């Protein structure tokens, strides 16, 4: 009797608390594992929103076959870029398109357009391309600021590493104010350092903040092997905002200066002096107005050195690069105090910067 009573009790308990099958447990576990953190959800949404704004850039050079007399397009490089405006302007690195005879821009949906170069600044490693694409295809990336970036804030990189389709990598701002050499040898200052993965093919793509705003253009990595090692650099967006309108309008970046040409540093070094040595003073320049003197040679062949610029607003000038950097972020009309040496005597003059 007791045995039947126990069996009945167990049946009643089983009905009250039905068992969960293995399949149901597995399904429950899967559902739990698919629950995303709010930060993940935001990052996924940003990638889906901004991917259509990032492009893959292919360039090729034309070569002539001397036997068949045919011309072939030989692939010579690839990189990334992004939509700047609704007029079809695309931003990328100058080194991505350098030497190209033909450039193609491909979107995430694989639509491809032939592009032409409208402006370049090799000193800043920036090029502006133009494509003839429908307005609805052009989705400019929101532009932020690099002026108030903080070390440690999050970064996102979207691009085409190794020619792969749109890829996302994340990291932080590792350092600010870095300098690297451009393809011309000129220094690009105020570079952003990030540990977000940047590999060959990412060049020219956007560096974004956690809100999806453009804060830089990926440009270079430090790597003995040529691939990602955790140290990448991006040109700050404040530099991009300053030079891109000029590249679109004029095809080049207008110079700001005092209107002088300088003797190359290598020649000046042989003389054994420091500073920016004036070779010529441009006619009607602000330098001419204050009486700066260039280097001259008399009919006997004797050379008389021009003025040697040694400081700008109290900051030491040791080379031509120092002088260029001292005025790069200023505008025409600004006045600077220039100290220079003429015939072993130090002089100074207030000179207005000009555009040329």
171-185 residue pLDDT tens: 999 999 898 888 877
pLDDT for the residue numbered 75? 44
When divided into structural domains, the chain yields a total of: 3
> Are residues 64 and 127 located together in one domain of the fold?
yes
Residue 222 vs residues 118, 210, 231: alpha-carbon distances, Å: 30, 24, 6
Residue 145, in any domain of the structure = no
Residue 318 vs residues 187, 275, 276, 323: alpha-carbon distances, Å: 15, 4, 7, 8
Catalytic residue flag (residue 225): no
> Are residues 162 and 199 located together in one domain of the fold?
yes
Q: Which of 73, 103, 137 is the last residue of a domain?
A: 137
Which residues are paired to 277 by β-bridges? Answer: 308
Residue 75, in any domain of the structure = yes
Residue 256 vs residues 86, 159, 260, 296: alpha-carbon distances, Å: 29, 33, 11, 24
The residue among 61, 133, 48, 124 whose CA lies nearest residue 90 is: 133
Residue 142, in any domain of the structure = no
Catalytic residue flag (residue 203): yes
> Are residues 263 and 336 located together in one domain of the fold?
yes
Residue 44: in which H helix or E strand, if any? helix 38-50
User: Out of 123, 125, 209, 322, which one is annotated catalytic?
Assistant: 125
DSSP 275: S
User: Out of 89, 95, 124, 166, which one is annotated catalytic?
Assistant: 95
> Are residues 228 and 186 located together in one domain of the fold?
yes
pLDDT for the residue numbered 192? 94
> Are residues 174 and 126 located together in one domain of the fold?
no
pLDDT for the residue numbered 297? 83
> Are residues 317 and 242 located together in one domain of the fold?
no
Cβ count within 10 A of residue 247: 22
pLDDT for the residue numbered 74? 38
Catalytic residue flag (residue 33): no
Q: CA 314, 318, 321, 325: dihedral to nearest 10 degrees?
A: -10
> Are residues 230 and 286 located together in one domain of the fold?
no
Identify whether the C-beta of residue 107 lies closer than 8 Å to the C-beta of residue 52: yes
Which residues in the chain land under pLDDT 70? 1-34, 60-77, 223-227
Phi, psi (deg, nearest 5) at residue 249:
-80, -45
Residue 168, in any domain of the structure = yes
Tokens 């979107």 belong to 107
> Are residues 116 and 92 located together in one domain of the fold?
yes
> Are residues 290 and 349 located together in one domain of the fold?
yes
> Are residues 160 and 127 located together in one domain of the fold?
no
- Residue 221 sits in a domain whose CATH number is 2.40.10.10
pLDDT for the residue numbered 298? 78
How far, in Å, CA of 273 to CA of 318, rounded? 9
Domain hosting residue 114, numbered range: 50-137
pLDDT for the residue numbered 6? 56
User: Out of 53, 80, 167, 203, which one is annotated catalytic?
Assistant: 203
Residue 8, in any domain of the structure = no
pLDDT for the residue numbered 182? 82
Residue 18, in any domain of the structure = no
> Are residues 122 and 206 located together in one domain of the fold?
no
Phi, psi (deg, nearest 5) at residue 104:
-120, 140
> Are residues 244 and 280 located together in one domain of the fold?
no
Measure CA 318 to chain center.
27
- Residue 261 sits in a domain whose CATH number is 2.30.42.10
Residue 36, in any domain of the structure = no
Burial of 291 (0-12, 13-18, 19+ CB in 10 A): exposed
pLDDT for the residue numbered 334? 93
How far, in Å, CA of 291 to CA of 21, rounded? 94
How far, in Å, CA of 178 to CA of 197, rounded? 18
Kindly report, residue by residue over 118-158, the tens digit of the pLDDT: 999 988 999 999 999 999 999 999 999 998 899 999 999 99
Residue 166, in any domain of the structure = yes
């Amino acid at each position: 009797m007791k045995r039947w009573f126990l069996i009945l009790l167990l049946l009643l308990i089983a009905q009250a608390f039905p068992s969960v099958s293995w399949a149901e447990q597995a399904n429950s576990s899967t559902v739990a594992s698919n629950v995303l953190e709010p930060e993940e959800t935001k990052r996924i949404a940003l990638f889906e929103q901004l991917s259509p704004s990032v492009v893959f850039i292919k360039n090729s050079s034309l070569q002539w076959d001397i036997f068949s007399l045919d011309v072939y397009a030989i692939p010579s490089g690839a990189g990334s870029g992004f939509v700047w405006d609704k007029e079809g302007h695309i931003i990328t690195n100058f080194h991505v398109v350098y030497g190209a005879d033909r450039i193609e821009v491909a979107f995430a949906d694989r639509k491809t357009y032939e592009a032409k170069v409208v402006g370049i600044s090799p000193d800043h490693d920036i090029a502006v391309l133009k494509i003839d694409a429908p307005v609805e295809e052009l989705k400019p990336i929101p532009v932020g600021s690099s002026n108030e970036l903080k070390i440690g804030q999050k970064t996102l990189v979207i691009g085409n590493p190794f020619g792969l389709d749109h890829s996302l990598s994340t990291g932080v701002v590792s350092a600010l104010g870095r300098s690297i050499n451009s393809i011309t040898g000129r220094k690009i200052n105020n570079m952003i350092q990030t540990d977000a993965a940047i590999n060959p093919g990412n060049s020219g793509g956007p560096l974004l903040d956690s809100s999806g705003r453009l804060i830089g253009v990926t440009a270079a990595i430090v790597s003995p092997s040529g691939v990602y090692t955790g140290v990448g650099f991006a040109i700050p967006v404040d530099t991009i905002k300053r030079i891109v309108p000029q590249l679109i309008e004029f095809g080049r970046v207008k110079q700001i200066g005092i209107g002088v040409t300088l003797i190359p540093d290598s020649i000046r070094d042989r003389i054994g002096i420091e500073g920016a040595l004036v070779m010529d003073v441009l006619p009607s320049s602000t330098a001419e107005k204050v009486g700066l003197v260039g280097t001259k040679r008399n009919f006997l062949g004797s050379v008389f050195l021009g003025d040697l610029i040694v400081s700008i607003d109290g900051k030491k000038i040791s080379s031509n690069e120092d002088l260029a950097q001292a005025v790069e972020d200023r505008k025409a009309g600004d006045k600077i105090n220039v100290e220079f040496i003429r015939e072993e005597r130090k002089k100074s003059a207030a000179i207005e910067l000009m555009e040329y």
